[in-house]
Chain A
Amino acid sequence: MRTKEQPLIFELSRKGRKGDSLPELDVPDVSVEELLEDSYIRKEEAKLPEVSELQLVRHYTALSNRNFGVDSGFYPLGSCTMKYNPKVNEVVARMPGLSHIHPYQPEEQVQGALELMHELQESLAEMTGMKEVTLQSAAGAQGEWTGLMMIRAFHEANGDVERTKVIVPDSAHGTNPASASVAGFDSVTVRTDERGLVDLDHLREVVGKDTAALMLTNPNTLGLFEEDIVQMAEIIHSAGGKLYYDGANSNAILDKARPGDMGFDVVHLNLHKTFTGPHGGGGPGSGPVGVKEDLVPFLPKPLLIKKEEQYTWDYDRPQSIGRVKPFYGNFGINVRAYSYIRTMGLEGLKQVSEDAVLNANYLMKRLEPYYDVPYSQYCKHEFVVSAKRQKDQGVRALDIAKRLLDYGYHPPTMYFPLNVEECMMIEPTETESKETLDEFADALIAISKEVEENPDYVLEAPHHTVVSRLDETTAARKPILKHEQ
Chain B
Amino acid sequence: MSNHRYLPMTEEDRKEMLQVVGANDVADLFADIPTKVRPATSMNIKPALKERDLLKHFTELSNRNVSTKDFPSFLGAGVYDHHIPATVDAVISRSEFYTAYTPYQPEISQGELQAIFEFQTMIAEITGMDLANSSMYDGHTALAEAVVMVAGHLKMKKQRVLVSDTVHPEARDVIDTYVLGPRLNVASVNEAKGKTDVNDLKEKLDDDVCAVVVQYPNFYGGIEDLKAIREACDESGAMMIVKSNPLALGVLTPPGEFGADVVVGDTQPFGIPSQYGGPHCGYFATKKALMRKVPGRLVGQTVDEDGTRGFVLTLQAREQHIRRDKATSNICSNQALNALGSSVAMTALGKSGLKELAVHNLKKAHYAKQQVENAGFTIVNEGPHFNEFVVDVGSNVVEVNKKLIDKGFIGGLDLGRFDQASDNHMLVCVTEMRTKEEIDRFVKALEESK
Is A434 a contact of B16 with CB atoms below 8 Å?
yes
Contacts of B349 in A (CB 8 A): 19-20, 48
Evaluate contact between A475 and B300: CB separation under 8 angstroms.
Answer: yes
Distance A347 CA – B3 CA, assembled complex (angstroms): 10
One digit per residue, 1 when the CB lies within 8 angstroms of any chain B CB and 0 when it does not, for chain A 444-479 equals 000000000000000000100111111110111001
B284 to chain A minimum Cβ distance, whole angstroms, is 12
A-B contact pairs, 12 of them (CB 8 A): A59-B347, A60-B91, A61-B91, A97-B61, A100-B68, A174-B324, A182-B148, A284-B333, A285-B333, A300-B177, A347-B47, A476-B314
Give A72's nearest chain B residue, CB to CB.
B96
Contact between A330 and B279, CB atoms less than 8 A apart: yes
Task: Evaluate contact between B48 and A345: CB separation under 8 angstroms.
Answer: yes
Would you call A193 an interface residue if the criterion is a C-beta within 8 Å of the partner chain's C-beta atoms? Answer: no
A174 to B316, CA, bound (A): 13
In the bound assembly, the distance between CA atoms of A307 and B307 in angstroms comes to 64
Q: Which residues of B contact A350 (CB under 8 A)?
A: 42
Which residue on B lies nearest to A95, using beta carbons?
B62
From A329, A343, A414, B54 is in contact (CB under 8 Å) with: A343
Contact B105 A184 (CB under 8 A): no
A329 to B170, CA, bound (A): 13
Q: Are B252 and A8 in contact (CB-based, < 8 A)? A: no
Is B207 on the interface with A (CB-CB < 8 A)? no
Q: Which positions 299-342 of chain A face chain B at CB distance < 8 Å? A: 300-301, 321-333, 339, 341-342
Distance between Cα atoms of A284 and B340 in the complex (Å): 11
Residues 123-138 of B, flagged 1 when their CB comes within 8 A of A and 0 if not, give 0111000011011011
B36 touches A112 (CB 8 A): no
Docked CA distance A466–B51 (Å)? 38
Cβ B107 vs Cβ A402 within 8 A: yes
Q: Say whether A101 contacts B67, CB under 8 Å.
A: yes
User: In the complex, are the beta carbons of B347 and A109 less than 8 A apart?
Assistant: no
Residues of B within 8 A of A325 (CB): 137-138, 140-141, 174, 278
| Minimum Cβ distance to chain B for residue A330 (Å) | 4
Contact present for B101 and A98 (CB under 8 Å): no
Contact check, B110 vs A466: say whether CB atoms are below 8 A apart: yes
Q: Is the CB of B118 within 8 A of A483?
A: yes
Given the complex, which residues of A lie within 8 Å of B102, measured CB to CB?
Answer: 279, 281-282
Docked-complex contact A49 and B139, CB < 8 angstroms: no
Q: Specify the chain B residue showing the minimal Cβ separation from A60.
A: B91
20 new A-B contacts at CB < 8 Å, known A63-B111, A344-B4: A27-B367, A35-B366, A42-B254, A49-B351, A75-B101, A96-B62, A97-B61, A101-B275, A113-B61, A126-B44, A175-B332, A181-B327, A182-B329, A229-B34, A279-B98, A283-B334, A284-B281, A365-B22, A470-B310, A479-B314
Least Cβ distance of A24 to chain B in Å? 9
> How far is B252's CA from A32's CA once the two chains are assembled, in angstroms?
10
A165 and B232 CA atoms in complex are apart in Å by: 39
A301-B199 Cα distance, complex, nearest whole Å = 33
Q: Smallest CB–CB gap between A32 and chain B, Å?
A: 6
Partner of A348, one of B48, B66, B360: B48
Please indicate the chain A residues that have their CB under 8 angstroms from the CB of B7 in the complex. Answer: 348, 351-352, 355, 430-431
Question: Contact: B278 with A326, CB < 8 Å?
Answer: yes
Chain B residues near A433: list those with CB within 8 A.
8-9, 13
In Å, the complex CA distance between A325 and B143 comes to 11
Known: A10-B118, A97-B61, A261-B37. A61 touches B177 (CB 8 A): no
Q: Judge whether A174 and B109 touch: CB under 8 Å.
A: no
Q: Is A82 within 8 A of B101, CB to CB?
A: yes
- Is residue B312 contacting chain A, with contact meaning CB distance below 8 A? yes
Cβ-defined partner of B69 (8 Å) among A96, A255, A278? A96
Q: A138 to B101, Cβ gap below 8 A?
A: no
Closest chain A residue to B359, Cβ basis = A32
Contacts of A157 in B (CB 8 A): none
Q: Are A63 and B42 in contact (CB under 8 A)?
A: no
**Which residues of A have CB within 8 Å of B297?**
282
Indicate if the CB atoms of A331 and B111 lie closer than 8 Å.
no
Q: Which single residue of chain A is at the shortest CB-CB distance from B337?
A: A280
Query: Is the beta-carbon distance between A469 and B107 smaller than 8 angstroms?
Result: yes
Find residues 1-45 in chain A having any chain B CB closer than 8 Å to their own CB.
2, 5-6, 8-10, 13, 17-23, 25-30, 32, 35-37, 39-43, 45
B327/A67 in contact, CB under 8 A: no
Give the contacting residue for B98; candidates A280, A342, A380, A470; CB below 8 A. A280
Binary contact track A117-138/B, C-beta < 8 Å → 1, others 0: 0000001001101000000001
Select from chain A the residue with minimum beta-carbon distance to B326.
A181
Chain A, range 382-409, C-beta contacts under 8 Å to B: 401-402, 405
Is there a chain A Cβ closer than 8 Å to B443's Cβ? Answer: no
Q: Which of A257-273 contact B (CB under 8 A)?
A: 257-258, 261-263, 270, 272
Q: Are A92 and B26 in contact (CB under 8 A)?
A: no
Residues of B within 8 Å of A92, CB to CB, are 54-55, 58, 62
Query: Is B396 in the interface zone, CB < 8 Å from A?
Result: no
Query: Which of B9, B48, B65, B351 is A97 in contact with, Cβ under 8 Å?
Result: B65
Separation of A322 and B302 alpha carbons in the complex (Å)? 42
Contact A174 B33 (CB under 8 A): no
Which one of A142-150, A204-212, A237-245, A289-297 is at the B interface? A142-150
Q: How far is the CA of A355 from the CA of B7 in the complex (A)?
A: 8
- Any chain A CB within 8 A of the CB of B381? no
- The 6 A-B residue pairs with the shortest CB-CB distance, nearest first, are A327-B277, A345-B48, A112-B64, A280-B337, A97-B62, A103-B277
Most chain A beta-carbon contacts within 10 A, residue among B63, B301, B350, B413: B350
Once the chains are docked, how many angstroms separate the CA of A268 from the CA of B253? 42
Select from chain B the residue with minimum beta-carbon distance to A474: B302
> Does A171 interact with chain B (Cβ within 8 Å)?
no
Residues of B within 8 A of A152 (CB): 180
B439 close to chain A: CB less than 8 A? yes
Closest to B62 in A: A97
Question: A362: CB under 8 A from chain B?
Answer: yes
Residues on the A chain within 8 Å of B22, using CB:
365
**Structural contact, A9 and B107, CB atoms closer than 8 A:** no
Query: Measured between C-beta atoms, what is the minimum distance from B331 to chain A in Å?
Result: 6
CB of B364 within 8 A of chain A? yes
Could you say which of B39, B60, B363 contacts A25, with CB atoms under 8 Å apart?
B363
User: Once the chains bind, are A115 and B9 in contact (CB under 8 Å)?
Assistant: no
Does A279 contact B277, Cβ atoms closer than 8 Å? no
For A99, the chain B residues whose CB sits under 8 A away are 273-275
Known: A106-B398, A326-B170. A178 touches B308 (CB 8 A): no
**Nearest chain-B residue to A84 (Cβ)?**
B6
Q: Given A27-B439, A109-B405, A362-B17 in contact, is the A482-B131 Cβ separation under 8 Å?
A: yes
Contacts of A323 in B (CB 8 A): 170, 173-174, 176-177
A-side contacts of B21, CB under 8 Å:
358, 361-362, 364-365, 378
Tell me the nearest residue of chain A to B358, going by C-beta.
Answer: A42
Closest to B327 in A: A178
Contacting pair A357 B347 (CB below 8 A): no
A354 interface contact, C-beta 8 A: yes
Chain B contacts for A71, CB-based, 8 A: 95-96, 99
Find the B residue at minimum CB distance from A479.
B300
Q: Which residues of B contact A333 (CB under 8 A)?
A: 279
Q: Of A46, A94, A175, which one neighbours B354 at CB under 8 angstroms?
A: A46
| Other-chain contact of A283, B29, B135, B273, B302 (Cβ < 8 Å) | B135
Say yes or no: A26 contacts B436, CB within 8 Å.
yes
Across the interface, do A9 and B118 meet the contact criterion of CB distance under 8 Å?
Answer: yes
Q: Give A56-102 interface residues, CB cut-off 8 Å to B.
A: 56-57, 59-72, 75, 77, 80, 82-86, 88, 90-92, 94-102
- Look across to chain A and name the residue whose beta carbon is closest to the beta carbon of B438: A26
Which of A88, A174, A342 sits near B321, CB closer than 8 Å? Answer: A174
A475 and B310 alpha carbons, distance in the complex (Å): 10
Q: Please indicate the chain A residues that have their CB under 8 angstroms from the CB of B59 in the complex.
A: 95
Q: A345-B45, A351-B7, A475-B301 are in contact. Are A280 and B97 (CB under 8 A)?
A: yes
Q: Which residues of B contact A113 (CB under 8 A)?
A: 61, 65, 276
Shortest Cβ distance from B46 into chain A, in angstroms?
Answer: 7
**What is the distance, in angstroms, from A77's C-beta to the closest C-beta of chain B?**
6
Query: Do the beta carbons of B363 and A331 come within 8 Å of each other?
Result: no
Q: Tell me, yes or no, whether A155 is within 8 Å of chain B by CB.
A: no
Interface positions of B from 252 to 304, Cβ below 8 Å from A = 252-254, 273-279, 281, 291, 297-304
